[in-house]
Structure 1
Amino acid sequence: MTTAVQLKTRELKPGFGAEILDVDLAQADADTLAGVVDTFHRHGAILLRGQDMTPAQLVEFVALFGEPEDHTQKQFTLPGHPKVFVLSNREVDGKPIGAHNDGVGWHTDYSYKAQPVMCTMLYAVEVPAEGSDTLLADGCAAWNALSPERQKELDGLRLHHSYQHFMATREFGRQELSDELKRDNPDVEHPLIRTHPADGRKALWPSTGTVTEVVGMENPKGLELVDELVAFMTSEPFVFRHKWQVGDILMWDNRCTLHTGTLYDDTKYFRTMHRLWAKGDAPY
């Protein structure tokens, strides 16, 4: 049985996240890796810089957090590595090798699933000199900043999430779903306030794109409430902005955060990232 070791860390921002220092994931022993996992569960997000990982090593690493999750869209998974999804604006022989501008807009991954992914990992292969930052919003800090009266009003509300709605209305690459994708991704309901299973901490857990209504509340009032809460949670006090370097591994806990990508000059720069997910459980 392995035990977590004490790692050298520093906060990504006050009260949120941890950059783990002086760890080479490709060479790390089991105790060190257990410490990395433990740090993740306590801090909402982790960053490790200067990593050199093969796709197989990335899959092995994300499996320490949970069973690697499959991807809804299969066409941009890495050949030979179906758990690794490619984000890129590169083309080979006139065909894109990855999804471009994927993940722009505040959201939590797989929120349209009954069991959304627990964590998301991005590994930087190729990074623009400017732009393309990833932003993380701390749902626990946002929840704690609400008044007790406001917390009481919100706790217990549920949101209706729809993948079909998301794909039909998103800004980049709208898509009419196949019958198979519709069957595999039925609409779901999730709590607006989510409880973290590690320690019971609560997080504000709205999202954009997939949410069609607050259950039991007529629109536009319901969606206006969601927009208001997303704007609050993604305001400056609760947001960490990550500026990428090649070899960065950034992982965030989808149970207590929102995230968004940002645009860059895709006529001037190339960006290539490998994304992996670990399976989660039903929000409560």
Structure 2
Amino acid sequence: MAPVRYTRAPNVYSRVQYENEEDGLLTVAKELTAQSTYPEYLPTWNKKEKYEPLKFYEHHDVGLKADPSFPNLLPKGTATTKNITPKLGVEVKGIQISELNDSGKDELALLVAQKGLVVFRDQDIASKGPEFSVEFGRYFGPLHIHPTSGAPRTAAELHVVYRRPDAKNLFENRTNLIQWHSDVSYELQPPGTTFFTVVEGPESGGDTLFADAAEAYNRLSPAFQKRLEGLHALHSGVEQANFSKRGGGVVKREPVQNIHPLIRTHPVTGQKSIYVNSGFTRKIVELKEEESEYLLNFLYDHINNSHDLQARANWLPGTVAVWDNRRVNHSAVLDWDTSATRLAYRITPTAERPVYDLKDLNTPDVSKPYVGADYTPSD
């Protein structure tokens, strides 16, 4: 089996060491809350918050309805665009995504599907509060509630990433902290169009790397592409749940393991992409362990180390990055040594059940809760 790669640096995302507990609600320490510019986005963990496994639903991507000339998203004379790389990513200035009408949101989904990553500058969405981001995100699909991460007190649907200003010794046990993944790929219906913004961060550093798994597929020889057809990979949330438990955190929904095609097809663009990631993929189910590990490690190295199919987003104030989790893998960059806080949140609409052939799109299926000796269900 391929190595388990779900790890975190010590003292970065601790759940309880410096937090308060009020009637089952874990919160960031009062002195850290007082230092925050956006305290309404600080994470909380409710020990009483429990959810059932996610159920199948039919997903119809709103990008399929969009006008490909983008008249609402990229109005002439207002919006300006610049490619981040020739194939992956575009930067957009001059429009506010918070003000888009439904047609503009459809066009946003189409542009993200086509480009993989869209970085919007000078946005005001965070200033409108957590509840606005929740309602905005729901347009693109039912929002994923993360099974272990913290969320704002008023918005369980937002996933908060918070590096405290007192984090130390990040590289005590690791030479680097790059951790490529596609968000919660273990779910039956993982995310599609995904939004992320950093509301507090260092002056420089803390960028996010993106790798284009569609271009990675295109780089393979036709014979190798053919060999990958028909293979499926197991994606697991067990290690993430165990990590939360070990740190004194919560598990709001018991972990699942689901099997997805190794190569998936995008319902809007028809592009094929390699759908594995070193964060959550565990095994190619048709192969023996040694064969699976050999092939997965080749694919991880191909995606993670091919810098000529990657892009980098830097978090200028007011930046919102929107990416397609069906097409790209990503990793945070924890590269600053100052005491600066990094507070960010993700809006995570779910999408279709991954398929290789679009004729199978929206075929009903059932999520697979994990039962095994290496995990004890929460009380």
Residue in 2 that maps onto 1:12: 84
* Matching of residues 80-95 of structure 1 within 5 Å: 80-90=154-164
Structure ranking higher in strand proportion: 1
Report the alpha carbon displacement of residue 220 of structure 1 after superposing the two structures with TM: 2.9
What secondary structure is seen at the aligned counterpart in 2 of 1:59?
A: helix
Partner in structure 1 of residue 278 of structure 2: 208
For the residue of structure 1 that corresponds to 2:326, the secondary structure is coil
CA distance in structure 2 between the aligned counterparts of 1:238 and 1:261, rounded to whole angstroms: 17
For 1:69, the equivalent position in structure 2 comes to: 144
| Range that drifts further, 19-28 or 124-133 | 19-28
Asked if 1:25 corresponds to 2:97, the answer is yes
The amino acid of 1:61's aligned partner reads: F
2:109 maps to a residue whose letter is V
Aligned counterpart, 1:165: 239
| Aligned counterparts of 2:233 and 2:251: Cα–Cα separation in 1 | 24
CA distance in 1: counterparts of 2:252 and 2:104, whole angstroms: 42
Secondary structure, in 3 states, of the residue corresponding to 1:82?
coil
Aligned to 2:308: 237
**Structure 2 unpaired stretches of 5+:** 1-64, 75-79, 167-176, 356-379
Mapped to 2, the partners of 1:134 and 1:2 lie a distance apart of: 28
C-alpha contact 1:167 1:175 (8 A) present in aligned 2: no
SS in 1 for 2:196: strand
TM-score, length-scaled by structure 2: 0.65
Task: Say whether residues 1:143 and 2:209 are aligned partners.
Answer: no
- The within-5 A match list for 1:123-272 is 123-168=197-242, 181=253, 184-234=254-304, 235-265=306-336, 267-272=338-343
Please give the TM-score of this superposition, normalised by the length of structure 1: 0.84
Measured against aligned partners, the alpha-carbon deviations of 1:190-229 in whole angstroms (never above 9, x if no partner) come to 1111110112110011111322211121223312211211
Determine the C-alpha separation between the residues in 2 that align with 1:177 and 1:227: 31
Which of 94, 104, 112 is matched with 1:40 structurally?
A: 112
Q: In structure 2, the residue corresponding to 1:77 is in which secondary structure?
A: coil
User: 2:373 matched to which residue of 1?
Assistant: none
Count matched residues.
269
Report how far residue 50 of structure 1 moved.
0.9
- C-alpha spacing 1:221/1:134, structure 2 compared with 1 (3 Å): same
Structure 2 CA distance for partners of 1:281 and 1:18, relative to 1, 3 Å: same
Structure 1 residues 237 and 88: alpha-carbon distance in aligned structure 2, compared to 1, 3 A threshold: same
- In structure 2, distance between residues paired with 1:247 and 1:176: 33
CA contact (8 A) 2:92 2:120 kept: yes
Please give the residue correspondences for 1:109-120 in structure 2 after superposition, counting only pairs within 5 Å: 109-120=183-194
- Are the structure 2 counterparts of residues 26 and 120 from structure 1 closer, same or farther at C-alpha, using a change threshold of 3 Å? closer
**Cα distance change of structure 1 residues 174 and 220 upon mapping to structure 2, 3 Å threshold:** farther
**1:61-99 per-position Cα deviation (integer Å, ceiling 9, x unaligned):** 32232222222125x11011111222112379xxxxxxx
1:142-191 Cα shifts (integer Å, max 9, x gaps): 111111011111122111111113444x7x9856998974xx43211111
Distance 1:86 1:146 in 2: 36
- Of 58-67 and 2-11, more deviation after overlay is shown by 2-11
Quote the Cα distance in structure 2 between the aligned partners of 1:180 and 1:84.
Answer: 14
**Larger-gyration structure (1/2):** 2
Please state how far the C-alpha of 1:138 moved relative to its aligned partner. 0.6
What is the identity percentage for the equivalent residue pairs of Structure 1 and Structure 2? 29
Aligned to 2:132: 57
Asked if 1:79 is matched to 2:173, the reply is: no
Instruction: Supply the distance in 2 between the matched residues of 1:113 and 1:191 (Cα, whole angstroms).
Output: 13
Residues 143 and 204, structure 1, Cα contact 8 Å, conserved in 2: yes
Q: Closer, same or farther in 2 for the Cα pair 1:195/1:34, shift >3 Å? A: closer
Kept in 1: contact 2:143–2:348 (CA 8 A): yes
Cα root mean square deviation, aligned = 2.7
